[in-house]
Each structure stands twice: as C-alpha cells, then as structure tokens.
Amino acid sequence: MSWATRRRERNDWRLERKVVLYECSKYIQEFANIPLEARISNPQPDVIPRPSHNISRANISPYALKVLYRLREAGHRACLVGGGVRDLLLGREPKDFDVATDARPEQVYALFRNCRLIGRRFRLAHVQFGREIVEVATFRACGEIGDEGDGQTVERAKDGRILSDNVYGSIEDDAWRRDFTINALYYDIANFAVLDYVGGMADLKTGLIRLIGDPAERYHEDPVRMLRAVRFAAKLGFRLDPATEAPLQRLGHLLEQIPPARLFDEILKLFMGGSAIQTFELLRHYRLFGWLFPATERCLNHQQRHYPKTLLIRVLTNTDQRLAEGKPVQPAFLFAALLWEPFRERLQHLEEDESDANEAHLVAAEAVIQAQIRHTSLPRRYSLPMREIWEMQQRLTCITGKRPLRLLAHPRFRAAYDFLLLRAEADESAGDLAGWWTRLLAQDESGRDRMTQPAAPAKKSKSRRRRKPRSARKDAPAAPPAPEA
C-alpha cells in the first residue's frame, strides 16, 4: 500500500469519526435536556443507532461476539454492557467484555460446553475461551420477590448490605439496578444500537461519575461502590457528581463490613490500573485510604520531612510508568511499599529494646502483616516475597566480602534493588548505598571482585629495639661466676 493511499484512508477515517461524534453529540444534548424525573417515568431508552456512535464490531473480542450471536440464535436477547461499552464509546481499549441477557444462568450453561456457573450473591456464567473469559449475567431487577414463583431471593444484612440478589427482570430493570450511569449503556447485537436508560451518554460527554438512585442507600447496599467511584474518577479523569461525592467522607467505616479477600481484589484494581497516583490522592481526600491501610495512614499523619508520602508517590509513579510501558508489576512490590513505613517503625522500636537484628526483622514483619490482614487479605504468594524485599534492605548494607556477590544471584535481588533505588529518591540516607550497588552492577567480574574486597588494615610499624652504645656495654660489670657444684 502506497503512502498516498494510507494517508487518504487515514483522512477518510478522521472525517467519519467527526461525523459520528457530531451525530452522537446531538443525541446526548437532546437527552441531557430531559429532566431526570421524566427519564425515570419513561421506561423507553434513548436509542443511538449505529451511524451515530463509534462502536464497531471490529473492536469487540471475537469470543464476546460468538457468545452474543449464539444467545441471539437461541432466541434470547443479548447485549454488551458495562465498562466495555463505556470504553469503546470513549475510544479506549476495553480490558474485558461483559454480556447481559434474558437467558437464565442454567440456559447459558446449556448453550456452551466451556461454561461454568459461579457466584452466590450474583449468579453468573463464565464462558471460557483459553485465557479469555466472557462473563454472562442475566437481567436483574431491584424487587424483593423473584418472578415465576421463585420467592424472595434478595437477602440483606441488618446494615442494609445485599448478601444475595438473584431477582431476574427485564433490561429496563437491569439498567436501573446498576451502579453508575456510565456503566449502564447497552450495545444491542440485534441492531448494533446503543441503548441508554439512565442518561449515561450525557454523563460520558460531560465527564461525570453519577450513581443511579440515592447515593447513601446504594453505598449501604454495597460499600465497595465508594472505591469504584474513586477508581473510575481517577482512571477516566472524570469528576464526581455532588450527590455521589457528598456521603464518601462519612461512610468510609462501611468498608469494615466487606470481606478482606474482596477488598484485596479491589486494591489491585485501584493501584494497578494505570492511575495509581490519582487514586491514592483521591482515597486520602475522601478519607477512605485509612480504612484500607490504617497503619500506613497513621504514619502518613505524623510523617517527617514528607518521607513516607514521598516514597509512596515514587513507587506509585513507577507502577504507572511500568504499566504504560507494558512491563509487569508485582503486587508484592506494591504492598512492600504501602506497608514499609509501619514495618520500619516497628523494627526501630524492637531494635531500641536491644533485640537480635534477625529476630527483630521477623517479629516486625509478622506484626505488620497480621495487623493488615484484619482489613485486607494478603495471600502468602505475595506476603512472602514482600518479607524478602524488606529483609534484603538490611542485607544490602553489607558491601564487602563474598556476600554482595551471592546476593546478586538471589531471586528477589532485582526487586530489592529497585526498592532501594526508590528509597534513595525519597531518603538521602539510602542514596550512597544505592549508588554503590549501581556502580557494582556496571562492573565486570574482576571489577566486582575489586569493589567487594575489604579494605586492607593499616600496617603497624614495628618498633626496633634500641641497642646500647658499645662504650656502655664495655663499662657494664661482668656477671658473677656460677657457683661450683
């Protein structure tokens, strides 16, 4: 293909995109002018036809399309929904694709041999294609009584949290029970149109995160929605609707009711989504960070020369950069940074009590981990590498003899060295040590041997015995003769 042809196709694509955005903006403006009460009373969605939006099947996973088409061929209604539709409309690459349908989980299971049913609160079908999983959910309603004689299927805790929610409904019901308006947009495979029941297109255009329904009530139903609101605001660069934002600072305590394992999964999404810095600042602004990492929050509140926060900022910035470059990020490294200051303080207290250094490291690490898992779980596959990163910060201080060369072969050396470099950027006391290891890594084998040789001790000058002058020896009295036997 010639350069002129490529340029012509690119210009055609840009023109088509402008036309699509213009048509889409007209629908959004028309919907934005409709009062919210009128939207609720009118169950009919705002339908954006294919020529007026930018979602193309070429950008949708072929496995998701396969699920959509098979459900439709079986006589069911099937739509893409959630973050996948949102990201496609924003011109982003979706992380995954979720499907909503009027088929029950058992019916989906019967259609796909590679399907398994999961979940207690939400009964879901996972259709697996190699490493890719397409999640299929049945349309749900907010009512308390299931249809077709299923009986009451919504189970609530005393504090209002929803424990089980398998009430099936229509697509309209499903849209109004979702959490945020921008996640309640449906891409209908039947006519390739986008269906908007709650004003999500208008909020996408204005960059607004808005909860569907009463925010305080929705947060009580599922407190994790507070973390999701912060995550979407940081990831998309959107602002929070005032009504959605208002309860955040006073409802953080609800997170104590969430299972630690679920909060651990949410933390990975919060800090490993490419916008860790913005997420961290928003979590602290809305007083949510302290409910996830109380020991770290306590250290941040009495920091010296901004050290703990500076180190966290460095680590989170490094995490975002690695994700942007397509490099892997280890959760153990992230948790080692998030809990480093509580560990350092505990270790300092133990060393002041004249405890053995190795034993102090073990006791301090165990105490910090046990305190943290009461709030968020920390699987052993991450806590053990995290301990090793902490332990090696002490071992890296030994720079003579054979130990430095043996450390280079340690499987956690690179992570520990990277952690030392980030500490050096925030703490001057670690700068010289980090510089020494950087110079060592730049040397060849002979150069490393020279750098790790212990300094030769200074030789003491041997004092020579001063001999007496010969004249003094002559004048000395002779020794008395030995007595005869």
Which sequence positions are flagged as catalytic?
A: 96, 98, 179
The token duo for 375 is 């709030």
Write the CB contacts of 59 (distance below 8 Å, at least 6 apart in sequence).
Answer: 88, 93
Q: How are beta strands 115-118 and 124-129 bridged, if at all?
A: antiparallel
Distance CA 252, CA 224 (A): 10
H/E element, 163: strand 162-165
What is the DSSP-derived secondary structure letter of residue 129?
Answer: E
Contact in structure between 223 and 243 (CB atoms under 8 Å) = no
Q: Quick one: which of 351, 338, 243 has its CA closest to 299?
A: 338
Residue type, 273: G
Residue type, 373: I
Distance CA 227, CA 236 (A): 14
Cα dihedral value 153, 112, 116, 228, nearest 10: -70
The token duo for 118 is 């999961």
The token duo for 13 is 């694509």
Mark 96-113 as b/e (b = at least 16 C-beta within 10 Å): ebbbbbbbbbebbbebbe
Contact in structure between 167 and 143 (CB atoms under 8 Å) = yes
With 0-12 CB in 10 A as exposed, 13-18 as middle and 19+ as buried, what is 168? buried
What is the DSSP-derived secondary structure letter of residue 182?
Answer: G
Angle at 317 between CA 312 and CA 322, to 5 degrees: 125
What is the DSSP-derived secondary structure letter of residue 460?
Answer: P
DSSP line for 333-353: HHHHHHTHHHHHHHHHHHHHT
Q: Quick one: which of 15, 52, 56, 54 has its CA closest to 30?
A: 52
- State whether residue 452 is helix, strand or coil: coil
With 0-12 CB in 10 A as exposed, 13-18 as middle and 19+ as buried, what is 133? middle
Distance CA 286, CA 275 (A): 17
Q: Quick one: which of 272, 165, 161 has its CA closest to 220?
A: 161
